[in-house]
Amino acid sequence: MLAAAASNAAANLGLSRASGDASRNCEADNRLAWKSYVGFRHAGCLTRVAESPQRRFRSGQIEREQCLKSRRQCGKIVCTTANVARGRFYLNVTGFPFPLNPLAFRRTVRTEVDPGSIWFFEQEQGLAGTNVTTNVRMTVIKLKSGGLWVHAPIAPTEECVRLIKELGEPVKYIVLTTYAYEHKVFVSPFARKFPKAQVWVAPGLWSYPIPLPVEAFGIFKAGTIKDDATETPWQDEIEHKVLESSPVGSVPGIGPYVELAFFHKASKSLLVTDAVIRVPDTPPEVIRKEALLDSARNGVVVSLRSGGKPIPDFKLFPGSNRIDDTEENRLLGWQRMLLLGLYFGPSDLLDPQESFRAIAGRLLVSPVVRTLVFTKIPDEALDWADRIVKDWRFQRVITCHLDSPIATSPREFRACFAFLEELVPGRRKKGLLDFFKAKTQNTGFVEEDFATLKGLDAFLVNLGVVPKPGPRN
């Protein structure tokens, strides 16, 4: 069944086409390669690993680069075969208004953050049909009381599940930390891979445009984490605070902004989902070089956001615009896709260095969350941040996207929210905070980069979909 699904996916993606005499042979071999994954004989279309392909498939030793070298004989299918063999297949074509990328194959990268205690699991995540992609992170903490505590689960591919099981501890708790679809969608399939684990969820979950209970997503929770008073089984090691705002929309169906913050006492780590980010100078490891190079091409999107400058080497269709695989082009692609993701329409994609440098390397609320969400609930977001810094002496922040862990302090974290004080009369605080503001949220942006977000916000306000910035009451 998996092979059939995988074959269908490959056919849908156009990956099984081949041409030439060698390719005809490979087409037959490809079919066998698919079968090899479910236990049939493999004929060995990968010439470089032909001596013992099945054994190497199972042990996951076929590298993507090796597969690419075999393209002459096999076409793109060899890469897909390697992905399947490494357990990266995961079909997901859902998401509103854009399906989430990748649609079929996800690589998982595990990083040991604190030896024997905290691990990151990262996959690629983007918007289908665009060049916008980033990393999504699941954090796994080994509890002193035994078992694994999983924060914001990602797609449970075979590779991902294998990497978790290699830790040698049972998954005990799975935590849904937010209402956001990108993190909610994988909770149910993840929980099915670890049926003995308890699923705990944030309160106030909602979906749009169709309001569905969380059970409709296949999430059968053991408990809801409401706020300080909620007794969680891991309370002695990890505390929590809830941001559950009033609805961020003015129309029925658009519910509150919901995010859980956790404090892991042993490591002095604050865990959040989307509230803050830090942009790395270089792309996260899980982002494919093909995506980076696509983003570096001067196509239609770049021409629309070029700051009025002429576009060199412009081609209407990306495939007709060859680009060299160089470090410089990968970085250009990273800067462009990052700015598109954070601003939707930054001021200058042709030469994005100034805009990128303005936000890279510092803790901040992302421009999207800042403009479209937190300005609608400034007092509630400020209260949440105040409670976090009042009670927890954390030394680093762990987020679900981009850089992590991020060395910081409660004061610097709080300063990220200082821009909201302008919207709430009586909340303005002066003092040491002003020093950190200069490093974080209130200065340093390229103001023109916000034009698209502010235009979108004004459009939605005029439609009556969202309220104007400021407190709701």
Given the rule CB under 5 A, which of 7-15, 33-41, 108-116, 267-275 is the region that contacts Fe ion? Answer: 267-275
The CB-nearest residue to Fe ion is 274
Q: Shortest distance, CB of residue 152 to Fe ion, whole angstroms?
A: 8
Given the rule CB under 5 A, which of 38-46, 84-92, 266-274, 296-304 is the region that contacts Fe ion? Answer: 266-274
Q: Shortest distance, CB of residue 407 to Fe ion, whole angstroms?
A: 22
Tokens of 444: 């340093």
Longest dimension (CA), the chain: 76
Q: Shortest distance, CB of residue 138 to Fe ion, whole angstroms?
A: 11
Contacts of 464 (CB under 8 A, 6+ apart): 250, 251
Report how far Cα 468 is from the mean position of its chain's Cα atoms.
28
Distance CA 419, CA 61 (A): 49
Q: Shortest distance, CB of residue 270 to Fe ion, whole angstroms?
A: 16
For Fe ion, the closer CB: 182 or 449: 182
For Fe ion, the closer CB: 183 or 414: 183
Q: Is 159 one of the binding residues for Fe ion (CB under 5 A)?
A: no
Please, which residues bridge with residue 118 across strands?
Answer: 114, 141
State the virtual CA torsion across 273, 275, 278, 283 in degrees, nearest 10. 50
Tell me the number of residues near Fe ion by CB under 5 A: 2
Which parts of 386-445 interact with Fe ion (CB under 5 A)?
A: none
On the question of a cis peptide bond just before residue 195, with omega within 30 degrees of 0, the verdict is: no
Q: Which of 274, 412, 449, 457 binds Fe ion (CB under 5 A)?
A: 274
Which parts of 161-200 interact with Fe ion (CB under 5 A)?
A: 182
For Fe ion, the closer CB: 274 or 449: 274
CB 472 within 8 A of CB 376: yes
For Fe ion, the closer CB: 274 or 403: 274
Q: Shortest distance, CB of residue 273 to Fe ion, whole angstroms?
A: 6
For Fe ion, the closer CB: 182 or 380: 182
Q: Shortest distance, CB of residue 182 to Fe ion, whole angstroms?
A: 5
Given the rule CB under 5 A, which of 95-103, 270-278, 302-310, 381-389 is the region that contacts Fe ion? Answer: 270-278
For Fe ion, the closer CB: 150 or 323: 150
Residue type, 388: I
Entry field: residues in the chain? 473
CB 138 within 8 A of CB 153: yes
Q: Shortest distance, CB of residue 455 to Fe ion, whole angstroms?
A: 23
Q: Shortest distance, CB of residue 245 to Fe ion, whole angstroms?
A: 16
For Fe ion, the closer CB: 186 or 200: 186
Angle between helical axes of 20-37 and 2-12 (0-180°, round to 10): 150
CB 120 within 8 A of CB 69: no
Q: Shortest distance, CB of residue 136 to Fe ion, whole angstroms?
A: 7
Given the rule CB under 5 A, which of 7-15, 105-113, 272-280, 371-379 is the region that contacts Fe ion? Answer: 272-280
Nearest to 243 by CA among 370, 383, 375: 383
Angle between helical axes of 2-12 and 77-85 (0-180°, round to 10): 150
Q: What phi and psi values does residue 118 have, to the nearest 5 degrees?
A: -135, 135
Distance CA 138, CA 85 (A): 23
Q: Shortest distance, CB of residue 400 to Fe ion, whole angstroms?
A: 5
Residue type, 289: K
Q: Shortest distance, CB of residue 277 to Fe ion, whole angstroms?
A: 9
Report how far Cα 227 is from the mean position of its chain's Cα atoms.
25
Tokens of 293: 């190079």
Residue with tokens 């079968």: 35
Query: Quick one: the chain helix, strand, coil %, rounded to 5?
Result: 40, 15, 45
Q: What phi and psi values does residue 400 have, to the nearest 5 degrees?
A: -95, 0
For Fe ion, the closer CB: 143 or 275: 275
For Fe ion, the closer CB: 122 or 274: 274
Given the rule CB under 5 A, which of 96-104, 111-119, 274-282, 373-381 is the region that contacts Fe ion? Answer: 274-282
For Fe ion, the closer CB: 259 or 449: 259
What residue ranges bind Fe ion (CB under 5 A)? 182, 274
